[in-house]
Amino acid sequence: MSAPFLWIFLPMALAGLLLFLRNQKVVLLIACLFMLFLTLSAWLLPIDTALTIGSWTFKITPSFAILGRNLTLTSADRSFLALIYGSAFFWFLPTFSLKINRPLIPLGLAITSLLVSILAVEPFLYAALIIEMAVLLSIPLLTVPGHKPAKGVIRFLIFQTLAIPFILFSGWLLAGIGANPGNLTLVQQAAIMLGLGFAFLLAIFPFNTWIPLLAEEVHPYIVGFLLWTLTTATLFFGLGFLDRYTWLRDASSLPVVLSTAGAIMVVTGGLFSAFQSHLGRIMGFAIFVETGFSLLALSQGSQVGVGIFLLLLVPRTFSLVVWALSLSILREQAPGLSLKDVKGLAHTWPFATSGLILANLALAGLPLLSGFPAHLAVWEGLARSSLPLAFWVLIGSLGLLSSAVRALASLASAPEGTTWGIRETQSQRFLVLVGLVSLFVLGLFPQWTQPLWTKLPIIFEHLGQ
């Protein structure tokens, strides 16, 4: 058995089978058990090493050839596989307590396997086409059959698709740079094309207009999952470029470009979120801010920057799962999710309110919560390199913090004499409570994720070594 077959093709095949099952509880059970199996297999089973169990000997080979191209996963990639499939498990598990009428689990499983293939495909540039496949596969989750696609869905598809020609054309130019590394004009053209491609993929300002629209139009849990998946895939894809091309990794202007783009995303996302009147749009801008923090982390040098970037991953995942879950629970009571619609819901939906507010505060970097240690590392690095930049990033974080305060004020304001109650189901209370505990645990004990983010850098041959 090959590693790509186990961690890419087998999940795709299972996703196809799950589409035909009607019982959603069975679909959830099968998918979650399979996610756990893939996560534990990635953590425990070595690749390209013979294993002997009694009289039975087997070996997981690293490569699989398909259509003249290779998919390769080595032992160095096992921590990445554990992270991706473990995160997918935590995204899938809460769906049994929500009313989601779209095939999130089957299509989400297929999208997750495509995310893994981005790291495995050779030649590397084919990963851009795989990202486009994941975008197209996400459209059935964002649209209702028989209805016209919403404006945010169309804009999302257009912007993500526009990125692919820029990245593929930059790959063609990069091949020319390998043959003629002294051609500065070619280097500049490749850098511009690559930058535009990733600006579209990561929704860097001003190409981020689809995020708040999508967050307002589509179910918040679906939006949270897709934005987490596609953003994570794109960031690792970008790290792959930095790892493979020395001239790009050693470019003197790279830290400036990354820090400027990251700061713009944090500031604009934070300030825009502070003035939003829709809870879904606030979550969308929070994801935008978190992408900016990832770019700021990567701007602080290869080894330190990659370490901080990886430290951001686990707290971000848990915060987004808790936020999307809490927002989905409130959506069942107030489909509009505007601040006017949710007024006073904290009195009857206290668990969902607590989850929403604390997840918002965690992504804003509030002390004692999960996002604080990684955000503190980013601020510390920025303070050493540029105090004005650190100040503006702090302004963006305060903007996101103020959105949590405004949301809390609206959720808590109710007419005098309103009685308190708990309307969440037992499963919803349990899931939100576990999520809230995880936010505090990851904030107080960030070293508990150390076995993961200290092993992740080895998937890159040059970065973080």
* Sign of the four-CA dihedral 12, 14, 20, 24: negative
Question: What token pair was written down for 81?
Answer: 């596989």
Band of pLDDT at residue 289, cut at 50, 70 and 90:
very high
Each residue's pLDDT tens digit, 54-76: 667 777 888 877 777 788 888 77
Distance CA 27, CA 25 (A): 5
CA dihedral defined by 216, 219, 223, 229, rounded to 10 degrees?
Answer: 180
- Listed range (85-99, 169-183, 281-295, 446-460) with the worst mean pLDDT: 169-183
CB contact at 8 A, 285 and 211: yes
Band of pLDDT at residue 440, cut at 50, 70 and 90:
very high
The overall average pLDDT reported for the chain is 85
Which 8-state DSSP code applies to residue 462?
Answer: S
Residues 6+ apart with CB under 8 A from 253: none
pLDDT exceeds 80 at position 249:
no
Band of pLDDT at residue 279, cut at 50, 70 and 90:
very high
Band of pLDDT at residue 180, cut at 50, 70 and 90:
low
Each domain of the chain, given as residue ranges in start order, spans: 1-122, 148-240, 252-465
* Sign of the four-CA dihedral 305, 252, 233, 392: positive
Higher pLDDT: 417 or 115? It is: 115
The whole-model pTM stands at: 0.91
Q: What is the pLDDT of residue 121?
A: 83
pLDDT exceeds 80 at position 463:
no
Backbone torsions φ then ψ of 348, nearest 5 degrees: -120, -10
Q: What is the pLDDT of residue 254?
A: 82
Band of pLDDT at residue 111, cut at 50, 70 and 90:
very high
CB contact at 8 A, 75 and 193: no
**Of all residues in the chain, what percent are helix, strand and coil, respectively (each to 5)?**
70, 5, 25
**Other beta carbons less than 10 A from residue 387's beta carbon:** 9
- Listed range (188-192, 225-229, 318-322) with the worst mean pLDDT: 188-192
Distance CA 191, CA 251 (A): 10
Closest CA to 296 of 235, 237, 241, 370: 235
**Other beta carbons less than 10 A from residue 178's beta carbon:** 9
Each residue's pLDDT tens digit, 2-12: 888 888 889 99
Q: What is the pLDDT of residue 403?
A: 93
- Listed range (16-20, 106-110, 122-126, 214-218) with the worst mean pLDDT: 122-126
Each residue's pLDDT tens digit, 361-405: 999 989 989 889 989 988 888 888 888 888 999 999 999 999 999
Closest CA to 295 of 336, 323, 259, 269: 259
Residue type, 127: A
Distance CA 240, CA 237 (A): 5
Q: What is the pLDDT of residue 311?
A: 86
Residue 71 β-bridge partners: 64, 121
- CA distances 63 to 4, 24, 72, 232, 274, Å, are 7, 34, 4, 23, 48
Q: What is the pLDDT of residue 353?
A: 93
CB contact at 8 A, 193 and 201: no
Each residue's pLDDT tens digit, 326-360: 999 998 888 788 888 888 888 889 999 999 999 99
CB contact at 8 A, 258 and 249: no
Counting residues of the chain whose pLDDT is more than 90, the rounded percentage is 30
pLDDT exceeds 80 at position 419:
no
Distance CA 427, CA 431 (A): 6
Higher pLDDT: 293 or 454? It is: 293
- Cβ neighbourhood burial of 146 (10 Å; 0-12, 13-18, 19+): exposed
Q: What is the pLDDT of residue 417?
A: 64
Distance CA 335, CA 329 (A): 10
Band of pLDDT at residue 465, cut at 50, 70 and 90:
low
Q: What is the pLDDT of residue 55?
A: 67
Q: What is the pLDDT of residue 268?
A: 92
CB contact at 8 A, 314 and 361: no
Q: Which helix (H) or strand (E) holds 56?
A: strand 56-59
Q: Is 338 left (phi over 0), alpha (psi -120 to 50) or beta?
A: beta
Distance CA 421, CA 299 (A): 48
Angle (deg, nearest 10), helices 220-244 and 210-217: 150
CB contact at 8 A, 436 and 354: yes
- Rounded mean pLDDT of 186-208? 83
**Other beta carbons less than 10 A from residue 1's beta carbon:** 11
- Listed range (83-87, 173-177, 193-197, 224-228) with the worst mean pLDDT: 173-177
Distance CA 382, CA 376 (A): 10
Band of pLDDT at residue 454, cut at 50, 70 and 90:
low
- Rounded mean pLDDT of 106-123? 87
Q: Which helix (H) or strand (E) holds 121?
A: strand 121-122
- Cβ neighbourhood burial of 51 (10 Å; 0-12, 13-18, 19+): exposed
Band of pLDDT at residue 110, cut at 50, 70 and 90:
very high
